[in-house]
Structure formats: C-alpha cells, structure tokens
Structure 1
Amino acid sequence: MRRVCLTLPTNRECADTIRAAGAEAAYGADRFGVEVHLLILDSSAAPVLAGHRTVVAALPPAPGVVVHHLDEDEQRTFLRRVIARSGVAGPGRMLDLMLPTGVSYGACTNRAFLIAEALGCDSVHRRDSDSRYQSLDGEPVHPLHPELTALGLRAAEAAGLVSRSRLDPAYKDRPVAMVGASFVGEMSVDVGEIRRLDPGVYEDVIGLSVPAGYPEIWRRNLIEESFRGAGTALFTGDRTTLTSVNPMRVDMCNIALDRGVYGRVPLPPATDTIGSDYFLIHLVHDAHLPGVLHNRHIVNYHTGERRSDEGFLAYQVRFAKFLLSTRYFNAVYARLAEAGEALLDPEGMVRASVVAGLVRDSTGLDQAEDAERLDALDRSYRKLGGRYATAADLLAGRRGRLLDETRADMTAFALLIDAWEPLIRAVRSEGLAIGH
C-alpha cells in the first residue's frame, strides 16, 4: 500500500489545526486507499504539549491513518540514532542543524523528511499550525485531494487528471515532483501594518527582497504580489494545472513533495529566518521538474503571540534575517536557473553536489551590500517610529551578529546538503522505529 506523510510542525497551541489535519488524513486514506501517516512535530512548551497530547489521543480512529506525535526529546533521540548510523562527520554539529535551539522553518521540515523516509513514505505533505482549511457546501476543502491525485505520476499520466496542461512536452516522461497551492487571508509575512502606516516605507522595505537589476515595472509587481498569496479568492471548484510551477504561486503551508526531491536535497536549516524553507520550490522549477498548481488554498491567519511586544520584536529579527538572506538565495536561484538541465543526472534525479556547490559559492558575496540593507531598514523603521523604532534599536545592537549569521547559515546549508545522502541512506537501510 502506498504510504504518505501528512506533517504538521508546531511550536504553539493549535488544537483546532491538529483536529483538522486528522480529518484530512482520514479523508486521504478513505478517498485514495493510501496509508496516511499524520506526523505532528511538536516543539511547544510543556503545558501546550500536554494539551496537544490530549487532543491527539481523542482523534477519532480512522482506517488507514497512523498518528505520530513527537516532542523534541523524541525527535532528538531519533536524530541521534540516524546521525550515528550515517557516519557523517561532526555528529554534534549535524544534530544542531537538524534540531537547533532557535526557530527554523527548514529544520522542522527536514526532520519530517527523514522521519517520512523511516516510515517508508513516498511523499511529504506539509501544513502549518497558523492556518485552516476553506470549506465548500459545509465540507472542508482538503489539499490532499489534488496532491494524491497527481504526485509521483509521470507527467503524461497526470495530464489526463488535471484541468489543463501547460507543461513543455519535453518533460512529459518526468514524474510530478511537487503539487501545491497558496493561501487566502492574512499576508504570509506580517508586514500589513507597515503598509497601513506608510505605503512608501512599505515599498522601500519590501523592495529590499527584490533581486538587484530588476526592471522597475517588474520590481513594482513583485512588491505588490509579495506575501499576498491568492488574495481573497474563495474556493468554488477545482482548477488544476500541470506546469512548471511558478514559485510565487505556492506556499509552504500548502505543499506536497515527492521523495525524489527531498530525498536528494534538504531545506536550509537557517534559524530565525522567515522564508528560508522555500528553497525546494525553486529547485523543482529551475530543474524543469513537473508540478501541479491547484486552487485549494489554505486560510492563513496571524496568532495573538505575534502581536505581543516580545513576539513583535522576535518577528522583526526573523524578518531582518529574511531580507539579508534573500541576497544569498537570489544569487543561488539565478545560478540554478542558468544550470537548468545540468541540475539533473541521467536518471532525472537532482545532482545534490551541484546544488551544494552553488550554495557554497554564494558565501563569497561581499557583505557591504548586506550592511546597506540593514541601513535602509533602520532608516525605514525610524521613520515609522513607535515600536518600529524600538525594533531598529534592537537590530542595530545585533548588526554584526546578523550579518555573520546570515552568511554562516548558507555555509551550514551546504554542509547539510553534503551530509544528506548518508542521512537518507541511514534511515532507508534500517527503517528506524518511530514512537507513536
């Protein structure tokens, strides 16, 4: 029986999302006859974790659904065993990259990738704790439907199962590597307040993420579209497109990846960096791997924690690191696009060594431009005043650390790519047991 992993990483209270994900897992198992492993990776504080355990225990049993709820101690135990069996150098460092003390959007998903491999799953389907499903006629709209319909099929086979195809016929024999959609509701990055306070400052700040040299009209379009997902469009019926998926059209809260992608290259393990987990979306696109874009968009919302003074300042650090990291990622994405077919081996699999080399090359970028970005952000935040001026003070005090950390994050990513094959081999060879 085909096994798939529906994963929900969380570090906050999300009882309703757990229940909704449980219902989606049951839907997938019933509708498609697959075995769905619902994997909840929980980094929440003890009281929240205990509440989640109660919620998980109360999930209605469903044929074909296996639930795994792992706290950080359980995840760490699993990782230590995998790392030891893999024989990679610097096991302590590798454990830190896989389970860092800071928030890492990529690392939590990398853990899901490894555990999915241990469970014998063919794909990973990711949801987020600060999102919920749309509904139609009183029923939830599950992204698992288009994901399980097409993922892993040869593109030529999938073409008959989608609404339309815009895929270059040259790629019809390649498997569908990714199925995804976006979100509706609040912006994925919490910058709406900046836009309300000063649209000009908003354009200046978001413009810091746009690759240098873009024509002005493209730059403005990117700024306008950034972090807005699918806007407010409500689901009324399925529209699915077989295509080379534009990375701007999908979000990591609503994504499914075939093991042929994440089994070769992990996500960046950067800490406290918004958007650092989108790398594989770009890789799939630039390597000309087929994908399916659908319209079962997830509803995004912002939790109350982000509105608190402490939460706001923590978020501003993550946003500043995002703005710094985009220069490195944009340089890598440009090189990925140039490489195109050279990213794949004769069997059509991603050449991890090529990707690692491009990531490593990016660390040679001059930090002077990064410093200028921090200067521009400082000016913008001081113009806004209030708590943004407080954030500017915080960022100024961490200036050197932010610059060094962002570059070090790329070095760490290249190191993890180098180690990924033996890590994957270790879980595949033994099928390490996962606690339930």
Structure 2
Amino acid sequence: MKRRICLVVPTNRECSATLAEVMAEAEYAERHHDVDVHLLVLDSSDDFTSHAKTLADARTVHHLDETHQREFLRQVIGRAGAAGPARLLDLLLPDRCSYGACTDRAFLIAAALGCESVHRRDSDLYFQTYAGEKVFPIHAELAALGRPAREVVADEDRLDESRRDLTVAMVGASFVGDMSVDVEDVREADGYYDLVSLWAAPGSTEAEKRALVEDSFTGSAPFDGDHAVLSVVDPMRVDMHNISFHGLHEKVPLPPATDTIGSDYFLIHVAHRAGLPGVLHNRHIVNFHTGERKTDAGFLAYQMRFAKFILSMYYFHFIYQRMTTDDPADIAAIVRASARQPQEPNETQARLMERAYRTLGGRFAGVADRIRDHRDVLLSEARRDIEDYADLIDAWAGLVAAARETPLPHV
C-alpha cells in the first residue's frame, strides 16, 4: 500500500501561480516515489474561486475555505470532548492572522486523511530550476522522512550513534531570494542591528548578537546539485515554508499566537532540543515579497507581526533553554513556567524596539508610534499567547485522535 502524505499550502492571498507550482510538485512525487499525495489548500483569501480553477486538474486535492475548516474543527473538538470547546475553536481558527494555527489545522486534517507526514509550503514561493528541471524539495523529504535514521543515505552523516535507531522526524531546507523577514531595504541603516539583535537569547555576547544579525532571515546558496546532511538539524538552517514532519506534529502542536511571525517554527526547535534525527538538504525554495506587503497597510501589519515576534522570544528562549524532550507534558509544563516570568524584561524590550524603529525613520517611525501606543496590549498578548499554547498542548493528543475519526466536510 502506498504511503499517504499531505502536501499543504495555507494562504490568505491570491497565489494561483504558487498553487500551480505545488501541483507540479505533487505530480512529481507520485511519479518518482511510491506515495499517494493529498494536496491540501487552506484558503482564507478572497480568491477561492480563482484558486479552485487552478486546482481543478489536481489528482487529489482538498481545497477548504474557512467555513469548511470551522465545520471540521467543530466536529473534531466535539468528538474529542475537550474542555472549553469554544476557546479551542478560537485558538485553532482565530479571526486574526496566525501562522501556527493554520498549520495546526493542516496537521489535524492530515490525520483525518490518514496521512503519515505533512509537507508544508507557503503561498509566496516558487521552485528553483536547475539543468532545465524544477528543484522540488519533496524529493529530498521522501527519501528520508519516517525512515529509521540508520537506513538513510546522506552525503554527510553527523548523527550520533545513540540516535540511529530513531525515526527521521523532520526534513527541511531554506530559501533563496527575498529575505524571509521584510527588512532588506534597511539592512545597512542605523537601527537595523539594534532591532534585529533584540531577538537574541538573553545573555548573548556582543559577538553572538552580531553573528545572529548577520545570519538572520538571509537564506542560502542557489541549488547546484543535491546535498543532504543527516543530523540533529540546526533551527537556523531551515524555514517553515520548506519543511516536512513525521510523527512529531501529532505529538506537539504549534503555538496559535496571532499576528506574530515565527509562531510556526516551534517544532523545529523541539526536534533540535529533543535530539531527533533530521535531514537538512539544499533544495531551497525561492521566496518573494508580494505587492501587498509593500502597501502602507501591509507594511504596518507585517512590521507589527515582527514586533510581536520579538516580544514572544522572551518566552520562547526560556522554553528552548529548558526543553530536552518531545514529551508534550514536559513541554507544556515548561511553557507554563515561561508564562509566569516577570514582565519587566519584556517591557524593556518593547522600549528598545520602539527606539530602534524610530531610528530607522521613514515609514518605520510609524511602527514606532504604533508600538508606543499599543505597548501594554502587545505585552499582555505575548504572555497570553504562551498561556493559550500550554492549553492547546494539553488538548492536542485528544484532538489528533478525534481527527482520525472525523471525515472532511464536503466542498
């Protein structure tokens, strides 16, 4: 029987060109690997009809708008008998942008479809071309994901012997093209270092901060032939628009934080801190910035998501420094301990962030004003996001089990 896998694209924008690229990747996977690919498009955009036309030729596609996603989640939450069903529904399908929540929905739908792995792409990408052929990440993912680590053939093997009987839980790569966080036009400006260095872990040396700033959000080298490394993967080397998981996503969900970039990267850190085998490959996607991102409204919304990311790192660094396992109960306890930290250090971060944005000038000064005017709300939301996450972790096993018994709504 063929392996059943889920290739997912969450979107809140027009992305027909990207969907066509990912359809081609699904077709490639089925031609070259013994898999049954279920293409899942979680569509929160106003372009559902045009996307549906693009997807009409896909062999196995599940194209769900928010109404159908909500119907599915209600059934799953009800079948799970979870406490606070209305709150859980709000966490999994909030009325604001949440990168983590949309991917959690994909995890649950993949369970409903009987898929053993999830392969995530984003709506603002296309694939590299090399020697006249598209460079599909799924080729590297399917060569290793879900297999015992000692059976995986890689160009480099850096995995400790004690890890070799474990299953490869994650395969991923990075990107080329535009920076993953849209601050490229101010990289050389006064204030850039002060802003980006704010996401460094507490206690980082000046040299460590400068290395982090230099390395942050900048991507990798263009593809020039396959190269895969079997190891415990460094989270700085992979991106969530070019990632795949086996097993891990059914144990631990992603943080459902709203209006916060980076909220969907948590499982990469779980895999790293728990020492789970992974493969880092070089089939990087091409990242691009959409035109909407450059409008005044799009610019401000995105920069505020980056601001919330910086405030969230106060809590996530606490978690990362203490996490040593992929056990959900242990992680939930650490997450709750993180939420109990005093808020004063994060208040300092907010002041420093406001100052850095103001130093950048131009449109960034408007971001500084917004941070100043909404500082208390941003700080309280950052803490509440962590508290919400602990509760979602507690409910996750029951939700995944219920999802396996829940049919998708007919579209």
If the length of structure 2 is used for normalisation, what is the TM-score?
A: 0.98
1:263 counterpart SS class: helix
Which residue in the other structure is 1:238 paired with?
A: 226
Q: Distance in 2 between matches of 1:249 and 1:381?
A: 27
Contact 1:151 1:257 in 2 (8 A): yes
Q: Distance in 2 between matches of 1:295 and 1:282?
A: 19
Which residue in the other structure is 1:220 paired with?
A: 210
Which residue in the other structure is 2:178 paired with?
A: 186
Given the alignment, which residue of 284, 288, 301 partners 1:314? 301
Following superposition, the deviation at residue 368 of structure 1 comes to: 1.1
Matched, 1:168 2:149: no
Q: How does 1:326-345 map to 2 (within 5 A)?
A: 326-336=313-323, 340=324, 343=325
Contact 1:163 1:240 in 2 (8 A): yes
Q: Distance in 2 between matches of 1:261 and 1:396?
A: 39
Which residue in the other structure is 1:247 paired with?
A: 235
Q: Distance in 2 between matches of 1:356 and 1:153?
A: 28
Matched, 1:435 2:404: no
Deviates more, 1:113-122 or 1:371-380: 371-380
Which residue in the other structure is 1:346 paired with?
A: none
Which residue in the other structure is 1:374 paired with?
A: 350
Which residue in the other structure is 1:300 paired with?
A: 287
Contact 2:177 2:287 in 1 (8 A): yes
Q: How does 1:14-413 map to 2 (within 5 A)?
A: 14-45=15-46, 48-57=47-56, 59=57, 61=58, 65-158=59-152, 161-196=153-188, 198=189, 200-230=190-220, 233-258=221-246, 260-336=247-323, 340=324, 343=325, 350-413=326-389
Paired amino acid for 2:394: D
Q: Distance in 1 between matches of 2:144 and 2:32?
A: 14
Q: Distance in 2 between matches of 1:194 and 1:236?
A: 30
Question: 5+ residue gaps in structure 2?
Answer: none
1:259-302 CA distance string (max 9 Å, x none): x2011100000000011110000000111110000000011110
1:56-112 CA distance string (max 9 Å, x none): 12x2x5xxx411110000100000000000000111000000000000000000000
Following superposition, the deviation at residue 434 of structure 1 comes to: 4.6
Paired amino acid for 1:327: Y
Contact 2:76 2:406 in 1 (8 A): no
Q: Distance in 2 between matches of 1:433 and 1:227?
A: 36
Q: Distance in 2 between matches of 1:420 and 1:249?
A: 27
Deviates more, 1:387-396 or 1:237-246: 387-396
Q: Distance in 2 between matches of 1:227 and 1:15?
A: 25
Which residue in the other structure is 1:12 paired with?
A: 13
2:60 counterpart SS class: strand
Paired amino acid for 1:37: H
Q: Distance in 1 between matches of 2:366 and 2:231?
A: 45
Q: Distance in 2 between matches of 1:153 and 1:191?
A: 38
1:329-387 CA distance string (max 9 Å, x none): 11100011xxx3xx2xxxxxx31110101111101112111111111121122222221
If the length of structure 1 is used for normalisation, what is the TM-score?
A: 0.92
Contact 1:104 1:269 in 2 (8 A): yes
Q: Distance in 1 between matches of 2:33 and 2:192?
A: 45
Paired amino acid for 2:164: K
Contact 2:192 2:360 in 1 (8 A): no
1:150 counterpart SS class: coil
Q: Distance in 2 between matches of 1:215 and 1:13?
A: 42
1:395 counterpart SS class: helix
Contact 2:109 2:408 in 1 (8 A): no
Contact 1:68 1:435 in 2 (8 A): no
Q: Which runs of 4+ in 1 moved over 3 A?
A: 433-436
Paired amino acid for 1:303: T
Indicate the percent of aligned positions where both proteins have the same amino acid. Answer: 53
1:410 counterpart SS class: helix
Following superposition, the deviation at residue 317 of structure 1 comes to: 1.1
Which residue in the other structure is 1:347 paired with?
A: none
Q: Distance in 2 between matches of 1:314 and 1:153?
A: 41
1:152-172 CA distance string (max 9 Å, x none): 0000111xx221211001110
Paired amino acid for 1:5: C
Contact 2:235 2:268 in 1 (8 A): yes
Contact 2:120 2:240 in 1 (8 A): yes
